Copies of this chain bind each other. A is one copy, B any other.
């Protein structure tokens, strides 16, 4: 697919680097897909098929999986121009023996049968990991995940904290927190203890990061224990006030940063998502963003926690330009992957070039898969690796900035060594 020789050579070499995937949504108890429904049920396909005209009827729980697959395949024709479609095609070709050039509803049964046969093999998960050349995959774990029953060396736990910061007043969340920690956190001190408990649990089970996704208007600031206690009390008491909600979110968030400092965990910030913008959209296909957000909102945080590394994900090229500048200036800010709506070649190319030209090479986490199933790691990383090979060829090797060997060494930093060091 790459048309010039140098880029192709670089790509080939880059593909030899064993990956550390520093952010995914893999379930370590069911890491690989078991059927084509597991692949096409990924929100990238359900939401695009829906956007292109598919009703949500085939997505209902009681629809037979093969009929759901047939419905989605029937809409691929409208999205066969997209990067997202190309990931699916590459999965079909690489993992399912598909020989054609395009997938249509006519391929439904053949593909479903092949998927069942191949994915039903007892060593399928290992096969996928091996073929994808993946060494470690970071997870996204609920705060009350027992973190047991899987190899935490291969599947690295990561404490996801959205629920604590934004939904702590909701009874189910509070109950889960109480069950997980033995503490009924009704005030700041109890919350402090409960969060300490979670960090203890996670780091004892090999967790390497704390993570959160944040709305575009979030602007972290410290909150006194008294104010946090009052705010939490008001929310729990049912007084759903926007100021109290902000105080509570800020208080918990700041407390998490303090624990990251204490437990030496990087704090992954995924900045800019508005939840439920398209309220009746498909599952996980409802969130969008507001470009009017700035990393200046995080200046106090970056100043207050020089010992904490903050890998930052952003949603737009405009904010990527801020990220390039902030990670060039702040020692504790590092660039992290190409997130969600930014994860298409036109934006990856632009954003990655700027990072490579202006941010210390040791401060860049090149890419992560964000995958729910292992099969997506390969096509997503291949997309990134092709772009990286092209940038290395055009901006580094051809102009004489780097030799090919040095370019590959840079790729190795981006694809594994920086992750190894930053999440040590």
User: Residues on A close to B: CB < 8 A?
Assistant: 1-3, 47-48, 50-53, 78-84, 86, 274, 277-281, 285-286, 288-296, 299, 302-303, 306, 316-319, 321-322, 324-331, 341-342, 344-347, 350, 353-354, 356-363, 395-396, 398-402, 410
Contact = CB atoms under 8 A, between A and B. Distances in A.
A169 to B, nearest CB: 25
B330 A48 contact: no
6 contacts: A83-B358, A277-B329, A278-B299, A280-B303, A291-B294, A292-B292
Contact of A278 (B80, B281, B330): B330
Contacts of A361: 78-82
Main secondary structure of the interface of A (DSSP, over half): helix
Q: Quickly give the copy total for this chain.
A: 3
A328 B109 CA distance: 28
B356 A350 contact: no
Contacts of A293: 292
Nearest to A282: B329
Contacts of A341: 321, 324-325, 328, 358
A360 B329 contact: no
Contacts of A327: 51
Contact of A291 (B84, B318, B329, B331): B318
B277 A395 contact: no
A51 B347 CA distance: 25
Contacts of A358: 82-84, 341, 344
Contacts of A52: 331, 360, 362-363
Contacts of A344: 324, 354, 357-358
Query: 8 nearest interchain CB pairs?
Result: A52-B360, A346-B354, A290-B296, A1-B399, A325-B341, A346-B353, A81-B361, A290-B294
Contacts of A318: 291, 316-318, 321
A319 B303 contact: no
Contacts of A50: 331
A222 to B, nearest CB: 15
Contacts of A342: 321
Given A2-B399, A321-B318, A347 B356 contact: no
Contact of A53 (B53, B329, B331): B331
A356 B398 contact: no
Contacts of A86: 401
Contacts of A326: 288
B291 A51 contact: no
Contacts of A3: 398-399
A278 B51 contact: no
Contacts of A401: 81, 86
A2 B398 CA distance: 8
A280 B303 CA distance: 8
A170 to B, nearest CB: 23
A278 B294 contact: no
Nearest to A316: B321
Contacts of A357: 81-83, 344-346
A321 B291 contact: yes
A80 B356 CA distance: 10
